[in-house]
Amino acid sequence: MGQRNLLEFFDNPHPGRNYEIVHIAPEFTSVCPKTGQPDFGTVIVRYIADRKCVELKSLKMYLQNYRQCGIFYEDITNVLLDDLVGVLEPRWIEIVTKWRPRGGLRSIIRAQQGKRPAD
C-alpha cells in the first residue's frame, strides 16, 4: 500500500496566517480489489498548514505508488488523509476523491480532519 515515508515537506513560510493550499492530481490510478480493473480518479488535497507544507514532487511520487494497489475508493481516501496528517500535522485538511463512472455510477468521497479556521 502507500508509503508515507515518500512524503517530504518544507517549513511553512507563513505559519502565522491561515491560508488554503489546494493540490489537484487529475490522473490518479489504483485498482479495484474486487474486479482487478483499474480505477481512474482525481485526488484533491485541500489544507491549511501549520508548520509544514507538502513538497509536490514527493506528493506526486507518493500518489503514483498506488497505481498497482488494490484498494476501495473509501479506503484510499482515508489512507491519503491519515498519511498526510501524519506527516504534515495541518490545522485542517480535506481529501476529496472523484472517480470516473463505472457501470453507470460515479463516486465522490470526502474525508477531513481538524476544525477549519474561520475565514
Catalytic residue among 11, 39, 50, 82: 39
Which amino acid is residue 50, in one-letter code? D
Catalytic residue among 32, 50, 69, 82: 32
| Cα 100 to Cα 29: distance, rounded to the nearest angstrom | 10
| Cα 114 to Cα 85: distance, rounded to the nearest angstrom | 10
Residue 75 falls in the annotated catalytic set: no
How far lies 24's CA from each of 10, 12, 13, 17, in Å?
19, 19, 21, 22
Give the active site residues: 32, 39
